[in-house]
A and B are shown apart, each in its own frame.
Chain A
Amino acid sequence: MENMTVIANGREVQVGLPCSLEEFLVAQALRPRSVVVEHNGEAVAPSEFATRKVKAGDRLEIVKIVAGG
């Protein structure tokens, strides 16, 4: 399987191709339903994770809801 590099939360991360956003999150040991993702600057709803493809060089910001004031 071919590998590619994406930038996730500011760090380079290696992933296998082809890869959906959902597969990427699972590979990072994250439950897809527990996070929300900005993919190349665009906020992506969890319902789109399975169909959204990740490509080499993509920038991902993976955030979650936390406690805050």
Chain B
Amino acid sequence: MLPSNQPLIIAGRVLCSRLILGTGKFSSPQAMRDALECSGAELVTVALRRADLSGRKDPFANILEFIDAKKYLLLPNTSGAMNAEEAVRLSHLAVAAGLPKWVKLEIHPDPRYLLPDPVETLKAAELLVKEGFTVLPYINADPVLARRLQDVGTAAVMPLGSPIGSNRGIQTRDQIHIIIEQATVPVVVDAGLGAPSHASEAMEMGADAVLVNTAIAVAHEPNRMALAFKLAVEAGRVAYESGLASSQPTASATSPLTAFLG
């Protein structure tokens, strides 16, 4: 029998896939839908934006028609919010739109690096948790902030590997190790994972899940890249659960070294 990975549980919800997918940047909603299928993801992010009042036609207008709400749990993000108040308003709008009372809390006022504002994020998290939201905050890889957030009742913490869309992998390795070590909620490495090996690395480190968007969406073949990330996440998780061998500076023979030629 093949060993199966432990499921991921976020706020009581059991998820068999530890790959969370973002839906942005795909060439078409159809391409997004197909890649979603190939990724095996069960948790999928969407965003909210001001509607275009000019009457122009938008090919992405009805994104929800391409995501089967019975199959995927939709996770609205608060991207675009510049502060806690805007993030809370966006969360209310998502609920009014019929989305689950889950929110990927992200507040990044700086457009160059899209680094999350820790003060506003903590403030918004407290408000939203009190209102009964399941809050998954996107944060810099700050162990102190991660702890503060789990203490106010967020359902996970989502530290970045490197800036959103940068594809630079895990540049925050030491901090993520500390966040994982002290976590009482799932740790989801979000942002900057540009290759399946980056996702595998996060999972081998003991992250509970990863969130990937750009690397899959802009791949030449998004479906196959989605599959590659799925396999990488599974491999990394199996490796973590199996117990990785420790590294050491010197060799350790794998074959007997007893002399046989005299």
Contacts and interface: CB of A to CB of B under 8 A. Distances in A.
Given A38-B93, A43-B96, A67 B55 contact: no
A65 B99 contact: yes
Given A36-B97, A44-B96, A69 B24 contact: yes
A40 B225 CA distance: 44
B136 interface: no
Chain B interface, >50% SS class: mixed
Contacts of B79: 68-69
Contact of B45 (A38, A61, A68): A68
A69 B96 contact: no
A9 B47 contact: no
Contacts, number: 98
B46 A68 contact: yes
Contacts of A50: none
A62 B50 contact: yes
Contacts of A62: 50-51, 53
Contact of B49 (A11, A29, A44, A63): A63
Interface residues of B, number: 38
B127 interface: no
Interface string A34-69: 111110010111100000000000000111111111
Contacts of B137: none
B50 A65 contact: no
Interface in A2-23: 8-9, 11, 13
Contacts of A35: 51
Interface residues of A, number: 26
A43 B23 CA distance: 24
B25 interface: yes
Contacts of B49: 63-64, 66
Which of A43, A44, A61, A62 has the most chain B CB atoms closer than 10 A to its own CB? Answer: A43
Given A37-B96, A46-B96, 9 more contacts: A30-B51, A36-B93, A43-B95, A63-B48, A64-B49, A64-B61, A67-B46, A69-B79, A69-B211
Interface of A: 8-9, 11, 13, 28-30, 34-38, 41, 43-46, 61-69
27 contacts: A11-B53, A28-B55, A29-B55, A30-B53, A34-B61, A35-B51, A36-B93, A36-B94, A45-B98, A46-B97, A61-B50, A63-B48, A63-B90, A65-B64, A65-B94, A65-B99, A66-B48, A67-B25, A67-B26, A67-B46, A68-B23, A68-B45, A68-B77, A69-B23, A69-B25, A69-B45, A69-B77
